[in-house]
Amino acid sequence: MAVIAIVIAHGLPRAQNRIGQSRSRQTKRNGRSQYQISHHHLLVLMELAKPCVPILQSGKCNPTSRCKCRELGDKNARTLTKRCSMILYPAIDLKDGQAVRLVHGDMGRATVFNDDPAAQAMEFVKAGCEWLHLVDLNGAFEGEPVNAAPVEAILAQTRVPAQLGGGIRDMATIERWLSKGLARVILGTVAVENPDLVCQAARAFPGQVAVGIDARNGRVATKGWATETDVMVTDLARSFEDAGVAAIIYTDINRDGAMQGPNIEATAALANAVSIPVIASGGVSSLADLIALRDCGADLNGAISGRALYDGAIDLAEALTALNG
């Protein structure tokens, strides 16, 4: 940590002088890779320091980084261990003003979990969540916001950042939601039908525009998952590489709400194929699923869970501790 603080405070050239020009070597200790800090690794440290600046300031990582990292140095600041953690996004799906969960995205198979979505959000916040994931299900089908009232109630009563998808398909709606206090909007259908709007919005609102990619068998589905396209997931994701989007929320529709585990292989493949932070969604049913996603071999930004939290299959406080420990 001390070394990263030097790099942040003094910049690369002065940090080089302070730390020295020694050669580096990698060692294994207690099963983790550790590095002796040297001139060769300062460029790596600069990159590591970027998402870790908020740690030094507030104890939290940058939520738009690929992962959250804690840098742990020994007393002499000679060794450094990188350990990645992952954000858990509790999901609140809104249908007819209620917090519900669907199975495979089928609006006819909705289970109501709370008539007061804002109260549900507060339960998640009290358990320690860092973000909330909101979906306007009716809006996704209608093409415009429908559940604005419960979303606004959630924003008014909670003090953690929230992201929202569903029915956001023009710049005016994007501007309106962000002005109401949303930290991030999620663009799904419009990412396929009007990708220029995504690029325009990402430029206008840096760090506040994400792309939602929902897929069946590798092909993107739109309009509340009702319409399947010929667009492949990876192709769509790569098309936004230089657009400046904050994250990609990848949902495997066949896993969503089914409590059968996430599609870890496809999620990891997508995350490794693009530089954009990826958030996994669909099928998370246990703490073991979350750990498997964290350790999948890709730097996932986070994972979304809904039904497992409502059913009690995942204890939110316990999961947050496990993922951040």
212 vs 11, 69, 81, 83, 185, CA distance in Å? 36, 24, 33, 27, 9
Write the burial class of residue 85 (CB in 10 Å: 0-12 exposed, 13-18 middle, 19+ buried): middle
Residues noted as catalytic: 93, 214
Q: Please, are residues 130 and 321 in contact by the beta-carbon 8 Å criterion?
A: no
The DSSP code for 269 is H
Please list, in sequence order, all residues whose beta carbon lies within 8 angstroms of the beta carbon of residue 70, skipping any fewer than 6 positions away: 52, 55, 61, 83, 85
Amino acid at 91: A
Q: Please, are residues 49 and 69 in contact by the beta-carbon 8 Å criterion?
A: no
List 93's β-bridge partners, or say none.
Answer: 100, 135
List 82's β-bridge partners, or say none.
Answer: 71
